[in-house]
Amino acid sequence: MSIQPVGSRRHRVVVIGSGFGGLFATQALKRADVDVVLIARTSHHLFQPLLYQVATGILSVGDIAPATRMVLRKQKNAQVLLGDVETIDIDAQAVTSRFLDRVTVTDYDSLIVAAGAGQSYFGNDQFAEFAPGMKTIDDALELRGRILGAFEQAELSDDHDERARLLTFVVVGAGPTGVELAGQIAELSRRTLKGAFRHIDPTEARVVLLDGAPEVLPVYGGKLSRKARGTLERLGVEIQLGTMVTGVDADGLTVKDKDGTERRIDSQCKVWSAGVAASPLGKQLAAQSGAGTDRAGRVEVQPDLTLPGHPNVFVVGDMMSLDNLPGLAQVAMQGGKYAAHQIIAGLDGQDPGQRKPFKYFDKGSMATISRFSAVAKVGKLEISGFIGWVAWLFIHLLYLVGFSSKLSTLLSWTQAFLSTGRNEMAATEQQVFARIAIDRLREHTEAAEGGTGAAREAG
Amino acid sequence: MSIQPVGSRRHRVVVIGSGFGGLFATQALKRADVDVVLIARTSHHLFQPLLYQVATGILSVGDIAPATRMVLRKQKNAQVLLGDVETIDIDAQAVTSRFLDRVTVTDYDSLIVAAGAGQSYFGNDQFAEFAPGMKTIDDALELRGRILGAFEQAELSDDHDERARLLTFVVVGAGPTGVELAGQIAELSRRTLKGAFRHIDPTEARVVLLDGAPEVLPVYGGKLSRKARGTLERLGVEIQLGTMVTGVDADGLTVKDKDGTERRIDSQCKVWSAGVAASPLGKQLAAQSGAGTDRAGRVEVQPDLTLPGHPNVFVVGDMMSLDNLPGLAQVAMQGGKYAAHQIIAGLDGQDPGQRKPFKYFDKGSMATISRFSAVAKVGKLEISGFIGWVAWLFIHLLYLVGFSSKLSTLLSWTQAFLSTGRNEMAATEQQVFARIAIDRLREHTEAAEGGTGAAREAG
């Protein structure tokens, strides 16, 4: 199937990705005289900053993942095409996508690539099966199953060492996602699950947060990092900094401390939130346009977020490298809107040479550590504690898509933060059983084959 | 691991199953001088009557599936054991369960078996992969992916016949679940998805409801069945009665009408809600006790819900056969409570011979056809339309477990019934892609091997 102009040909904008960059770009084109084709791999937009709350039983999938098609239902000039983009041909101005066995070629006049980033294991992809990342709804639901499944297994075990291994949760990476996840696993075990078991005491679970960096939330640094660390430690999170992961297997990790000593941490449930790698589409764009890519595979764009020599191809969000801008929702939203506005200006006769460079307006960034406590940085202003947390609540509600999701999220938060319950504690059978079973099976197979292979070093 | 008495030996009640029967039995033992061990295959209780709303994007998993452990957290005399019961030995008074590779033997003084029922394909289990049932959370999420995935595929197709096949949804079985599901798929396509696609008109989707019986909701019969049928037809559901399914494959079904003519219905998305089969544990109990089983594998129990010669072994809910009682939540709840009360009476010195027989108090039954319309039967009283629907709303909210779930469900209903949105429209990648992909793959393999094998007849 090939999507071709129908009737009078309007300027066609193809947008790749339904994250913050792609969605905001599409919505910014609502009143423009263009046809927008949004091609995305998932049928939902994802409010990624709250994914860790799906993983820890606070929010439902629907709260943070509205169907993109429903969000754009009333935007008549936009259509959503489900598919994985396989190739972009910037000379032919065409995008080839695939959904199952169905291949679609879509021509474009302007292109906005916002395909985001996935987890990076710094060359140690074999870690992924034992320490999954947290980038998609599937990841979050699987992690929920792994976390709750570990408690269930511990309840059934009467071996001291095995219990200790099952009740040790390791989060690799002390950036915002890692910090928020570690904080929530700690609250889950200390508050939510308190008294729910009869043979184990879930409040004794170890939650370990590891990072190679010398402080947590290094992007904030200084006072805020120290505050965050203090709050985490009061919650009972063990923080191990200056520590590199050298190996991950079904039963734990091997790590190397700053002084070079290697040691082992026995743990069944591990999560990886240590690094990101831009969508592989970045490499395609770079190769075709001569743009460079950075270490994370992000495309080095021109000041107007386009590829060199291709003023009609924009790259925004986590895929783009410009002025060391961080991988934040705000950068993607503003980039998407900027690209849309340049396209509209072009239709009005503006020459690409006249474009004003993209300028990121820093509205600040924040991370919640636990209920009632967050750290936030807005320009030079640093906020922490309860005021930071209220600001966090307010801003996240503001940006959630859809009135009903906002209400439903508020309700879930009221429950999770004021009572000791959580609404979304069901792990589907598939998630609890199948995945743990797969790990087990693999573990047994490997034991039979004698060893798990050489562990390589990771940062 | 073997669960043995700790300290002073109290009377131990083992409950198998965390559905209505098992949960209500456990809760009814709250103040009794017993230890309760609830063994269940899933970590959640499931409010099965609303499962179809998870499948059609109205409710979240958490709304209808609270973690059993959390529900029972404060009941100090109860513990939850996750595991699949493999054998029950009623002479040794022991239950063997397995969670992954961990086997647990639990001794009991009294046993309440409430392991429920699964889907039955009447000997045609090969239908299951193409027309999954709707008994578990996993089933509901998979079905959600299949329904939404069919619309997505249709949007991408430019072949007329293929589109028609993708936009034909067939529900086999016109009992309450089938009727409610067909009604909701119709509302989803006609209201929720209206205007959400650009190449197809989802309101033109065919929703076919098939049954071998001569009327819908045969359990009600007469006026209510006719009312339900009228409402469904106004919603656009095609009703085909007196129709038997003779074959199911990836692309559709073959059916045989009352007059003996065979015909084919092309349809990608099929759901099976035509029959139930009691848990296979029923056969074990019957074989050991000499009790009979009915066609659905349900155990024919004594008037006090016990096995012949085993007054300490109760069978309740969908697994039990007594006085032709239907497989309703109320029957299971009341059976569970009854069993608990007999056990308590026994501790107080009552002889099993003195037990009053179980008497089901019919509080009525109901089914929603669409928003604002339900049918209900309470004794001789028959209610339909809006009043029935309000009664339905009220009663379902009443029985949902947990205050927060009630609020959250009410919020989701407000949205689904008063606006055109639904909060839980996200299909996880696993569900949309993996499962459809598996079907595709199988279809191709079979095509290569030349045919899908002989289709057998089903009722």
The 10s digit of each residue's pLDDT in A178-209 is 999 999 999 999 999 999 999 999 999 999 99
What's the gap between Cα A249 and its chain centre?
Answer: 23
Does B440 contact A153 at a Cβ distance shorter than 8 Å? no
Residue B237 distance to chain A (closest CA, Å):
23
Q: How many CB pairs under 8 A join A and B?
A: 181
Distance (Å, rounded) from C-alpha A91 to C-alpha A306?
A: 14
Stretch(es) of chain B classified as CATH 3.50.50.60: 2-41+83-119+277-354
Whether residue A330 contacts residue A310, with contact meaning beta carbons closer than 8 Å, is answered with: no
Beginning with the edge strand found earlier in the chain, give each strand of the sheet holding A2-3 in spatial order: A2-3, A102-107, A94-99, A84-89
Q: Can you list the positions of beta strands (E) in A250-350? A: 252-256, 262-266, 269-272, 276-278, 299-300, 306-307, 310-315, 320-321
A85 at B interface, C-beta within 8 A? no
Does A148 contact B424 at a Cβ distance shorter than 8 Å? no
Distance (Å, rounded) from C-alpha B58 to C-alpha B61?
A: 10
Please tell me which residue of chain A has the smallest CA distance to B42.
A429
Distance (Å, rounded) from C-alpha B313 to C-alpha B90?
A: 8
At residue A388, does pLDDT exceed 70?
A: yes
pTM of the model: 0.90
Report pLDDT for B446.
52
pLDDT band at B279 (very low <50, low <70, confident <90, very high): very high
Report pLDDT for B307.
98
The mean per-residue pLDDT over the stretch A324-351 comes to 96
Distance (Å, rounded) from C-alpha B327 to C-alpha B19?
A: 12
Quickly list DSSP for B169-212.
Answer: EEEE--SHHHHHHHHHHHHIIIIISTTS-SSS-GGG-EEEEE-S
* Mean pLDDT across chain B: 89
Which has more pLDDT, B398 or B34?
A: B34
pLDDT band at B441 (very low <50, low <70, confident <90, very high): very low
Residue B250 distance to chain A (closest CA, Å):
15
**Measured between alpha carbons, how far is residue A143 from residues A43, A51, A135, A155, B320 in Å?**
21, 11, 11, 19, 37
For an interface test with A, the pick among B428, B438, B440 (most A C-beta atoms closer than 10 Å) comes out as B428
Task: Convert the pLDDT of each residue in B390-439 to its tens digit.
Answer: 888 888 888 888 777 888 888 888 888 888 888 888 876 555 544 444 44
Facing A61 at nearest CB: one of B60, B136, B411: B60
Does B425 contact A198 at a Cβ distance shorter than 8 Å? no
Distance (Å, rounded) from C-alpha A451 to C-alpha B288?
A: 46
At residue B215, does pLDDT exceed 50?
A: yes
pLDDT band at A441 (very low <50, low <70, confident <90, very high): very low
Distance (Å, rounded) from C-alpha B285 to C-alpha B310?
A: 10
Helix (H, G, I), strand (E, B) or coil at A43: coil
At residue A234, does pLDDT exceed 80?
A: yes
Of all residues in chain B, the percent with pLDDT exceeding 70 is 91
Paired tokens of A408: 């439903």
Highest mean pLDDT, choosing among A376-390, A422-436, B95-109: B95-109
Catalytic residue among A180, A187, A215, A424: A180
Dihedral sign for Cα B422, B428, B433, B435, please.
negative
Please tell me which residue of chain B has the smallest CA distance to A191.
B70
Report pLDDT for B2.
55
For an interface test with A, the pick among B135, B156, B268 (most A C-beta atoms closer than 10 Å) comes out as B156
The mean per-residue pLDDT over the stretch B92-96 comes to 97
Distance (Å, rounded) from C-alpha A102 to C-alpha B428?
A: 19
Does A423 contact B404 at a Cβ distance shorter than 8 Å? yes
Point out the least confidently predicted range of A273-277, A403-407, B180-184: A403-407
Amino acid sitting at position A48? Q
Report pLDDT for B8.
53
* Mean pLDDT across chain A: 89
- Interhelix angle B403-418/B385-399, rounded to 10 degrees, is 150
Distance (Å, rounded) from C-alpha B41 to C-alpha B81?
A: 9
State the alpha helices, DSSP H only, in A212-297: 222-235, 281-289
Which chain B residues touch A428 with a CB distance below 8 Å?
A: 61, 136-138, 141
The mean per-residue pLDDT over the stretch A378-386 comes to 87
Of all residues in chain B, the percent with pLDDT exceeding 90 is 71
B2-41+83-119+277-354 CATH fold: FAD/NAD(P)-binding domain (3.50.50)
State the alpha helices, DSSP H only, in A257-328: 281-289
Does A99 contact B192 at a Cβ distance shorter than 8 Å? no
A125-274 CATH fold: FAD/NAD(P)-binding domain (3.50.50)
Whether residue B253 contacts residue B267, with contact meaning beta carbons closer than 8 Å, is answered with: yes
Task: Convert the pLDDT of each residue in A134-177 to its tens digit.
Answer: 999 888 988 998 999 999 999 999 999 999 999 999 999 999 99
Residue B40 distance to chain A (closest CA, Å):
12
Report pLDDT for A452.
35
| DSSP run (H or E) holding B220 | none
Report pLDDT for B247.
97
DSSP character for B300?
A: E
Does A65 contact B426 at a Cβ distance shorter than 8 Å? yes
Paired tokens of A357: 């460079």
At residue A221, does pLDDT exceed 90?
A: no
The mean per-residue pLDDT over the stretch B448-455 comes to 40
Distance (Å, rounded) from C-alpha B413 to C-alpha B188?
A: 14
pLDDT band at A309 (very low <50, low <70, confident <90, very high): very high
Residues 189-248 of B with CB under 8 A from A: 192-193, 195-199
Please tell me which residue of chain A has the smallest CA distance to B405.
A423
Please tell me which residue of chain A has the smallest CA distance to B3.
A156
Report pLDDT for A314.
98
pLDDT band at B459 (very low <50, low <70, confident <90, very high): very low
Distance (Å, rounded) from C-alpha B69 to C-alpha B81?
A: 9
Residues 169-198 of A with CB under 8 A from B: 192-193, 195-198
Residue B428 distance to chain A (closest CA, Å):
6
Task: Convert the pLDDT of each residue in B45-60 to its tens digit.
Answer: 999 999 999 999 999 9
Report pLDDT for B216.
95
Stretch(es) of chain A classified as CATH 3.50.50.100: 125-274
The mean per-residue pLDDT over the stretch A267-292 comes to 96
Of all residues in chain A, the percent with pLDDT exceeding 70 is 91
A53 at B interface, C-beta within 8 A? no
Nearest-5° Cα angle at A67, A63 to A72: 120
- Closest to B185 measured CA to CA, from B229, B136, B150, B155: B150
Whether residue B211 contacts residue B173, with contact meaning beta carbons closer than 8 Å, is answered with: yes
Task: Convert the pLDDT of each residue in B115-141 to its tens digit.
Answer: 999 999 999 999 998 999 999 988 898
The mean per-residue pLDDT over the stretch B280-300 comes to 97
Report pLDDT for A32.
97
At residue B101, does pLDDT exceed 50?
A: yes
Point out the least confidently predicted range of A355-364, B160-169, B341-350, B449-458: B449-458
pLDDT band at B366 (very low <50, low <70, confident <90, very high): confident
CB burial of A129-155 (b: ≥16 within 10 Å; e: otherwise) equals: ebbbbbbbbbbbbbbbbbbbbbbbbbb
Does B411 contact A412 at a Cβ distance shorter than 8 Å? no
Distance (Å, rounded) from C-alpha A396 to C-alpha A365?
A: 11
Which has more pLDDT, B102 or A329?
A: A329
Report pLDDT for A117.
96
> What is the ipTM score, two decimals?
0.89
Which chain A residues touch B61 with a CB distance below 8 Å?
A: 60-61, 424, 426, 428
- Closest to B212 measured CA to CA, from B253, B180, B235, B245: B245
pLDDT band at A3 (very low <50, low <70, confident <90, very high): low
Please tell me which residue of chain A has the smallest CA distance to B437.
A100
Point out the least confidently predicted range of A82-96, A336-350, B27-41, B385-399: B385-399
A442 at B interface, C-beta within 8 A? no
What's the gap between Cα B198 and its chain centre?
Answer: 35
Report pLDDT for A366.
87
CB atoms within 10 A of CB A168: 22
Quickly list DSSP for B361-382.
Answer: ----EEEEEETTEEEEEETTEE
Report pLDDT for A457.
32
Amino acid sitting at position B82? L
Report pLDDT for B1.
53
Task: Convert the pLDDT of each residue in B339-365 to its tens digit.
Answer: 999 999 999 999 999 999 999 998 888
Helix (H, G, I), strand (E, B) or coil at B9: coil
